[in-house]
Chains A and B, each alone.
Chain A
Amino acid sequence: MKVATHHGVLQVRRSDRGLELELIGEWRTLRFSEIDAALAALDLGGARRVEISTARLEALDLSGAWRLREFIQTGRAAGVEIAFEGAPPDQLRLIDETLKGASPPCTQQHPRLHPGALQDLEEPAIRSLAFLGRHAVLYGRDLVRDLAFLGRMTTTAVWGLTSVKRLRPISIARHVYDTGITAMPIVALIAFLISVIVAYMSAQQLRNFGAVVFVVDLVTIGVLRELGVLLTSIIVAGRSGSAFAAEIGSMQLNEEVDALYATGVDPFEALVLPRVLGLVIALPLLTVLADIIGLTGGALLCRFLLDMPLTQYITRVQESIQPTTFWVGVMKAPVFAMLIAMAGCYRGMQVRDSSRELGRLTTLAVVQAIFLVIFADALFAVLFMELDI
């Protein structure tokens, strides 16, 4: 007779009559890997009969019992007689009962396509066509939905202008605070750094031509016309666009938006419009701040890097800008604000069912907001060129 112990959970005795298995210790989920390894490593060695003893078994939970049951089933399928010394553990009966329990076995659900369609899709040419078609339809639908949102937004805005109460001034003020006031430090810092970068870079190049004084022109026009508003918008898109999408999206998940509908409050009026208007107010103000800080940064850099006296810098700034330069930058801000706020709110409203959707749509909101801002800026550049401003 030979005795072997496997992983401390199983003791095996070989005799003429067959195998004797003695289950030892705790057969629990947390030791599943040992139990699994022990049973898997067990060589029945052509035994006709296996007797299982549970006398030294301290605990058997469902996972342990399930693995034992698997072992018994495989053994029996191979024609081995398996019996328990004494009564079989109660847990085996529970598993049998549960699995019998009327409901059909789990089947993998495939999307329903008729067989022909599935075969056609295998063809590369057809597949790419199908891909093209499907995406065209999806984009088409998306476009219709975008337009619907825009239309809804516009009618709500027009309707909202009819009374102050509908405009929700307190809510707007909150959003001006959240998106504007709290963004001031980061906007100021970025504007300062950008003017430093522009001044530093152009100073290096212009020094070759002895035209260092034009650094002032570059900083002033660059910051006022483009960089101030563009970078502010991109920061705000990252900060507030994502916040809008996440806020409205999690409200969707909590059914708060449905609750608003059910109370007779239009979510567009209560959630979307205050955010859009709040940002339309906040972003131009942030842009002005960015302009001021940008010009200050330029002045400091010219003073300390180029040794240009402050009075000369100011004179040069006044010479280089036209009356329109400042307004060209600032008037873009409300447009960018609308784009950012609407991308955020729109994607937030689209969130359904799961937290994964929330993440996906928040990302999409930020990416689209930044894309739209840059795209709109390009259009503005062409427009202003044509108008010769």
Chain B
Amino acid sequence: MIKLVNVKKVFPGTVTPAVNEISFEINEGNICVFVGPSGCGKTTILRMINRLLEPTDGDIYIKGQKVKDLGVNPDQLRREIGYVIQQIGLMPHRTIEQNVALVPRLLKWPENKIKPRVKYLLEMVGLEPDKVSKKYPYQLSGGMMQRVGVARALAADPPIMLMDEPFGAVDPILREKLQDEFLKLQKEMKKTICFVTHDINEAIKMGDHIVIMNKGKLVQHGTPMEILANPVNDFVKNLLGVDRGTKLLELTKSEEMVERAEEIPTEISNKNCFILAIDPVQRALELMMKKDADIVGVHDGNKFIGTISWENIKKHINRISGDEA
């Protein structure tokens, strides 16, 4: 869907490139998360995709077409790409309704189509249209404003969304909630999303694909699993943190680690500790601690398929985190 080929950006007046020879591809319907310390060039990449910045070198393709060739006018391109930023940037002199209707109005939609669309969007992001439509942004809380920001970006139903630390300015509890809600929305929407964050946990949670960057260079990219299991160097290891192994357990489904067995061992049936095949392995760990067991049984539907043992999990973590943990 989106492809970068040897993209390079050197800002005028600087020598070191902000983005250096980066190539990768984002598949349709995926969330691709760019993660790295500030100044690593992740935001610059985002801004090059919707041509707020032009690359010094290299090409960016959307659906196989160079963005450079997608019409002479970058404004037209931007209207077809959703854009959410950390500071939100709602128009303070416009009501919530007018803010959400911004892009449809720029695209000259008929008014009778805009009204129901705004209502639908506000409901979708969890706001009550009757209560907020006529309010101004200053009358909303930070979390509500961020929801309006997302609704505004989705207004014209763009196939692509660019999100620059969209949940960076809200408190951790609300952030979790917004993330969950957004993932739920994404399941239905299937947008192609470029997501920038400096929070590796957010990256692991949100990303179908993660791009790790440092000093303008691409350090590693892959699925969260691939990265957690095989970090290429110390930079990635440090970024993932020492709890890499347990983070992996959150992402690993029990069925992937199960030791197949036909009969239920007595220890398990006595303590009645079972989990589902689709539960993360972390769930097994939790159950072991709760029930003081060393082994749990795994069910796929109603069928017993095998066990996961404490020994096995330990080995698994050791293999991944090595001796650093």
Are A and B bound to each other?
Answer: no
